[in-house]
Structure formats: C-alpha cells, structure tokens
Copies of this chain bind each other. A is one copy, B any other.
Amino acid sequence: MILRRLLTIAVAATLPGALWAAGEVTQFTLENGMEAVVIEDHRSPAVVHMVWYRTGAADEPPGVSGIAHFLEHLMFKSTDDLENGEFSRIVEANGGSDNAFTSWDYTAYFQRVAADRLGLMMQMEADRMRDLVITEADVVTERSVVLEERAQRTDSSPGALFNEQMRAALYLNHPYRIPIIGWRHEMLELDLDDALAFYERFYAPNNAILIVAGDVEPEEVQRLAEEHYGPLQPTSDLPERVRPSEPDHIADRTVRFEDGRVANPYVSRTYLAPERDSGAQEDAAALTLLAEILGGNGTTAVLGRTLQNEEGRALFAGAYYQATSLDDTSFTVLNVPVPGISLEEAEADLDRVIADFLEIGIDPAQFERIQFRYAASEIYNQDNVQGLARMYGVALTTGLTVEDVQAWPDVIAATTAEEVMQAARALFGGDTRSVTGYLDRPAAVEAEEATQ
C-alpha cells in the first residue's frame, strides 16, 4: 500500500497526471441497463456504496423547483420492506454512515460500511429504487425540513441569495437558472403527486449508476449487483436528457443585491463557459488552468498576487470554474475589496488586472508550477476513496465516461500556455457577454455604522 502511494507521487513529480493513482477501475452493465463502476482500494476493509441517478434539479418540470432534492429527502422514508427511517438505522446499526445529495445534474445516495455489509446496502438501495412508499404525512413533515434547510442555507445567507440571483441572471433559458433547493414559494406547494411523478419518471435501474469503491473484488460486486439490482425492471419511457439550451448572450447584465447582513461587499463577474465534453475536454482543461492561474489557491495566482499582495486593495480576489456539468457551465472572477474601496473601484481593479494579464500573458514558470500543482492535487485527491467514487459519479452523470475521467490529467498536462491564453481571450476579450454582480450593504447601513 505504501509502495503504491510513493510510486504515485514520484510519477507525479516527473509527469503530472500521466498516471492514475487509483486502484483498478472496472465497469460492467446489468441487463436492465444499470451501469456500474468498481474502484478497488484494499487499504482498509471498508466500502463506499453509491447509487447515482442521472437526474437532478435541472430535470424538474417547470413550477416544481426543489422536487429533485425534496424526493432525495423522501427516499429515507418507508418502502414496502422498511419502516420510516429504518434505512439509516440499519446502516448505523451496522457501524456505517449514509447520506445523499442533489445537484442540477444528479442525485446520489451513499453508504460507507464494512466491506462485508455491501450486499445489505445493495438490498436496501434496490428496494427504495422501485418500492418507495411515501404518505401525505411524510410530505408534510419533510417539506418543513427542506424549507428549514432553505431558510438556513440560503435565506439566512446574503452570499447564497446573491448566487441564486446571479444564476437566474446568467442563464436565460437553461434550467440551471433555478435553485437546486427550489424557490421558496414553489417549495411550499410541493406535494405527494409531484414527488411520486418525479420518482416514477426518473428512478429506475436504466437511469442509475452504481459506484462501489473500497475493499472489494469486481467479480463479487457484479455478483451482488446482479442479485440485488438485477431483478429491477427498467422503465420504458425514460425521457431523453435534453434541457433547453441558451440563446446567444448578446447583452451584458448586472445584478445588485443589498443586504444589511453583508460583512464584506464584493463584485463578481460571470461568463457562460464550455464544460468538459466526452472525448473533447481540451477547452475545459484550458479554462480549468486559467482559473488556477488567475485565481487559484493562495496569493501566487494573478488576481490575488496583484490585488491582495502587491496593491493591498483586496481582501480576496479569485476565479472559479466548474468543469463538470452536463450543459454549459460558468466561469467567475471575483474581487472583495478592502474597506474604503467601492465596488465600482473593485470592478475597475478586476478589469485592469485581467486586461494586463491578456496583454502580458502567462509567466512560463508559473504555468508549469500551476499545471504541476493541479495534476498533483488531482492525484492526491484519489487517496480518498470516497472522493474518487464521487468523482466518477459526477463524471458519469454529466455526460463523461470512465475513460474521460482517466484521460483528464493527461489532457491537463498536454494543455499549453498558449491554449490557456486563447481561452482567456475568448472569455474576456471576445463577444462573450457577462453578468456582473454587486453584493453590497444598503447605503443606510453604511451610514449608520459610519456615525457610530
């Protein structure tokens, strides 16, 4: 075990991303269409068992925002075989832990348990894939829970509310504009019929991906999967996964959200950007490196180095790019100015640093460092088997393949500084329109604090 880890790091030091540190990855597909990925990791006798559905908030019908996430909650209620909440109690009684999460492109359920409990996990997960039993009472209870979740995570957080408004402004047509948790006024109306309709439409073996990672042998996983998931009937009318796409962005937009709870006002600018596409990850690799170079970790990145370190004009400046996404994703730059600098000045700072960057280009030494660091971090990440399982799950539910995942470090390593600059020019210098966001405190709050 130790040998393998050393080997990985040694390889990474010479050729970033050229080798994949993970244990063996095996794939198979059941007759009912359920795909499976097995990631071996024999360092500890544990296993992560995940079922990912190729459905998320962006697959919701109009008007019932939040239903994908709401259903995720309801999946912990009864089935024909299990009592309300019994699923998690059994996992716990077996020394494991379980949870679930929902995004725009996927909904996933997972348990981490001793490897010899894998069959039990499959048995229960297969059960709730087709035999969920939910009642009006479950809906009433759990609706309160998700509303409280929204209250805590979104409504009490100016930053989260601001992000919600920014997405709604960025996407003119695509459902990525709608919050995963749901618009509050629509969450209040979510009912049993909505949940069951979503469940029946999307929860089926031919819309699911099994991911098992840990101290397992692929043959045994396949045998167990055939035993537990094999008998499930596929759904015959699984809808094609096509969401409304974006028209050309022809107008620049701004969003100004003011909230008395904002501690540090900031300005951000977001562009629609290409995502990783299967077999064509080059653009996304260039944008991934661009985000690292402009605003990656620490203050060696261009925005942080200039605005934080050299000029002392920013508390923080960064760049974000989400490469894995089924449809068009976004690229964001952000500047949190030091007190006394207005958001308009902060915006001008952001523009200036980016304009200089487009002019000067990438420092070759910095490029190499960042490319290496990114590849290395990808490899280090693989030391965590749960993170690795999640990485495959995200990839496979956003249109990528196991091969794409394994090729990604190579694609990153093959990206040149010139390609990154081309991506930068296309993003910032071209006809791409953007959404600029101002998260601020109301003038009245500012004035009050000034007089104190």
Contacts and interface: CB of A to CB of B under 8 A. Distances in A.
Given A255-B251, A257-B250, A63 B168 contact: no
Contacts of A177: 172
Interface string A41-66: 00000000000000000000011010
A253 B172 CA distance: 13
A183 B247 contact: yes
Contacts of A242: 63
A254 B254 contact: yes
Contacts of A173: 65, 168, 178, 183, 186
A243 B245 CA distance: 20
A253 B256 contact: yes
Given A173-B183, A251-B256, A255-B251, A244 B165 contact: no
A274 interface: no
A287 to B, nearest CB: 22
Contacts of A248: 185
A15 interface: no
A105 to B, nearest CB: 16
A318 interface: no
Contacts of A252: 255-257
Contact of A255 (B63, B65, B253): B253
Contacts of A63: 242-245
Given A168-B172, A172-B168, A173-B178, A162 B251 contact: yes
Nearest to A161: B250
A186 B247 CA distance: 8
A178 B186 CA distance: 20
A337 interface: no
A186 B183 CA distance: 26
B169 A253 contact: yes
A183 B246 CA distance: 9
A175 interface: yes
B185 A245 contact: yes
Nearest to A256: B252
A184 B248 CA distance: 9
A128 B251 CA distance: 41
Contact of A62 (B243, B253, B257): B243
A242 B194 CA distance: 14
Interface string A144-172: 00000000000000000110010011001
Contacts of A65: 173, 244
Given A185-B247, A247-B184, A175 B255 contact: no
Contacts of A247: 183-186
A420 to B, nearest CB: 28
Contacts of A257: 250-252
A68 to B, nearest CB: 15
Contacts of A251: 162, 165, 255-257
Interface centre among A175, A184, A256 (most CB of B within 10 A): A256
A62 to B, nearest CB: 5
A253 B254 contact: yes
A62 B254 contact: no
B165 A250 contact: yes
A172 to B, nearest CB: 5
Nearest to A245: B185
A267 to B, nearest CB: 14
Nearest to A242: B63
A244 B183 CA distance: 10
17 contacts: A62-B62, A63-B244, A63-B245, A65-B244, A162-B251, A169-B169, A172-B177, A173-B178, A173-B183, A173-B186, A185-B245, A186-B245, A186-B247, A252-B255, A252-B256, A253-B256, A254-B256
Given A173-B186, A250-B257, 13 more contacts: A62-B175, A62-B244, A63-B242, A63-B243, A162-B251, A168-B173, A173-B183, A185-B245, A186-B244, A186-B247, A252-B255, A253-B256, A254-B256
